[in-house]
Amino acid sequence: MPSAVVCLGLLLSAVASAPPAEDRSIENICKLQTGYFESIDTIEFSSAQVLSLSEVAREKLGQASARTESSLTFAAKSAKFLSSTALRDPATGAESIVVTAYDGNRHQMLDKTSRLLSVSNRPQMANAYFGLNPVLVPFLFVFERDDEQTLVKLRDEATWARLVAEARGTGVERVGEHTCDVFEFTRRLSGHPVTYAVYFSRESGGLPVRTLMRDSDGKLLYEAAVERLERVGGVVVPLRVVIRGYIPDTGEQWQTVELTIDRETLKVNEPLDDGTFSIPVTEADYFVDVDAGMQVPMATDEWLRSEVRKGLSLPVEETQVAPAAGLAALPVGRSDKTVTDVDETAEAGVERSWLLIAAAAAIVIVLVWVAVRRRGTVSDVQ
């Protein structure tokens, strides 16, 4: 009997001293995500992006080439960032480069082809980084329509807290080498309900390694899979992410997008100079202040450049204001370009920038097929 009592005592002692079971609740998983992004003070890398269209996709979209390549160069420090996306024309090989940045004061966007630089107090598009960022893509299920899609938004506890009420746990599944807690979230995209199934890896500190998106009929639209992770600077980083889009009615694969970070360029939590996040005004021939509704040609002299750096605080007596149709501000005697030249070139640059934005956005094709199913033709999608 004493022996049994001793054994029972030892058992109870072991149970009492055992570490508590890890919290697998969605509340804790969401806390892990905010902690993850808070651990990234700085990050910089270059990545390659390859878009492959299926034969049916090429036919629907009228694309001659099945493969399109682009690249992304990215640097971030807290809220500041610079992101440069190069889109390569598969027919000619020509590159169109768009750079977006935030220096802690103003958001900037440069179309290098038209040499048009625009600035604003707010991002000029929801995806402030413009291109597909492999660090951000596994978390696209988090964002709502009016959210700024940035790393800073993912550090915000409120961003994740709103998911908790929507979450439905569906069990535990294996994804390759990962044991995953699976949760579903129902959201609305462009007015249509979609359901995300997100696989949070236990081995990777709760990071999502797979996301499936289905329409209201349960048909698969989209899959994002993290195929390679590596710890750098004390932080686990997705080095390779593959996105697959599907045709809901047939289940055929519509496209594949491969995002691969060049490991040699990846630096995490290393010093970054604040000057990294300002686009030099010397890169532009035309300047647009989006908030003020003003367009000006850039000049070679330092006077105008210094004024532009201040946010276009041009003295009234130095400015010749064009008609409201152009809203162009032209410094007198400091450029041989006419107001008409400024309007036409700047407007063409703005139009070109938005075409490039549309091209980048087209990489994520999910909403196209949501619209195709409801409207009957790709040409109806706006």
- Evaluate whether 143 touches 375 at the Cβ level (below 8 Å): no
| Structure confidence at residue 322 (pLDDT) | 28
Neighbours of 160 (CB within 10 A): 21
Mean pLDDT, range 19-28, rounded to an integer: 74
Q: Using CA atoms of 153, 158, 163, 165 in order, give the dihedral in degrees to the nearest 10.
A: -170
Q: Is residue 59's pLDDT more than 60?
A: yes
Q: Using CA atoms of 115, 116, 117, 118 in order, give the dihedral in degrees to the nearest 10.
A: -170
| Structure confidence at residue 251 (pLDDT) | 87
| Structure confidence at residue 155 (pLDDT) | 94
**Joined tokens for residue 164:** 């908790």
Q: Is residue 313's pLDDT more than 50?
A: no
Among 339, 268, 256, residue whose Cα is nearest residue 297: 339
Instruction: Supply angle C-alpha 307, 313, 314, rounded to 5.
Output: 80
Q: How confident is the model at residue 122 (pLDDT cuts 50, 70, 90)?
A: confident
182-185 long-range Cβ contacts below 8 angstroms, 24+ apart: 183/26, 183/29, 185/141
| Structure confidence at residue 24 (pLDDT) | 87
Among 230, 226, 228, residue whose Cα is nearest residue 244: 226
| Structure confidence at residue 343 (pLDDT) | 44
List, for residues 371-382, the tens digit of each pLDDT value: 334 444 333 333
Using the structure block, give the residue that is written with the tokens 């992410």. 241
More confident residue, 31 or 361: 31
| Structure confidence at residue 309 (pLDDT) | 52
Q: Using CA atoms of 170, 175, 177, 179 in order, give the dihedral in degrees to the nearest 10.
A: 0
Q: What is the pTM of this model?
A: 0.75
Least confident of 108-117, 267-276, 288-297: 288-297
Using the structure block, give the residue that is written with the tokens 């269209």. 53
| Structure confidence at residue 317 (pLDDT) | 33
Q: How confident is the model at residue 239 (pLDDT cuts 50, 70, 90)?
A: very high
Mean pLDDT, range 52-67, rounded to an integer: 83
HSE value, Cβ hemisphere, 13 Å, CA-based, for 221: 23
Count the residues in the chain: 382
Separation between Cα atoms, residue 316 and residue 48, nearest integer Å: 46
Q: How confident is the model at residue 357 (pLDDT cuts 50, 70, 90)?
A: very low
| Structure confidence at residue 243 (pLDDT) | 96
| Structure confidence at residue 308 (pLDDT) | 52
More confident residue, 66 or 364: 66
Separation between Cα atoms, residue 242 and residue 368, nearest integer Å: 19
Residue 305 burial class via C-beta count within 10 angstroms: exposed 0-12, middle 13-18, buried 19 and up: middle
- Domains identified in the chain and CATH numbers: 26-275+352-377 (2.50.20.10)
Q: How confident is the model at residue 298 (pLDDT cuts 50, 70, 90)?
A: low
- In sequence order, the 6+-apart residues with CB closer than 8 A to the CB of 331 are 296, 299, 304, 314, 318, 319, 320
Q: Is residue 124's pLDDT more than 50?
A: yes
Residue 103 Cα distances to 91, 282, 284, 313, angstroms: 35, 17, 17, 18
Mean pLDDT, range 340-344, rounded to an integer: 42
Q: Is residue 126's pLDDT more than 60?
A: yes
DSSP 7: H
- In sequence order, the 6+-apart residues with CB closer than 8 A to the CB of 191 are none
Residue 31 φ then ψ, to 5°:
-65, -35
More confident residue, 152 or 349: 152
What amino acid is encoded at 197 in this protein? Answer: A
List, for residues 254-280, the tens digit of each pLDDT value: 899 999 999 999 999 999 999 999 998
What amino acid is encoded at 104 in this protein? Answer: G
**Joined tokens for residue 262:** 């060049």
Least confident of 218-222, 235-239, 246-250: 246-250
| Structure confidence at residue 6 (pLDDT) | 40
For the chain, the average pLDDT equals: 77
| Structure confidence at residue 296 (pLDDT) | 65
Q: Is residue 332's pLDDT more than 50?
A: no
Reported as type and span, the H/E element at residue 88 is strand 80-88
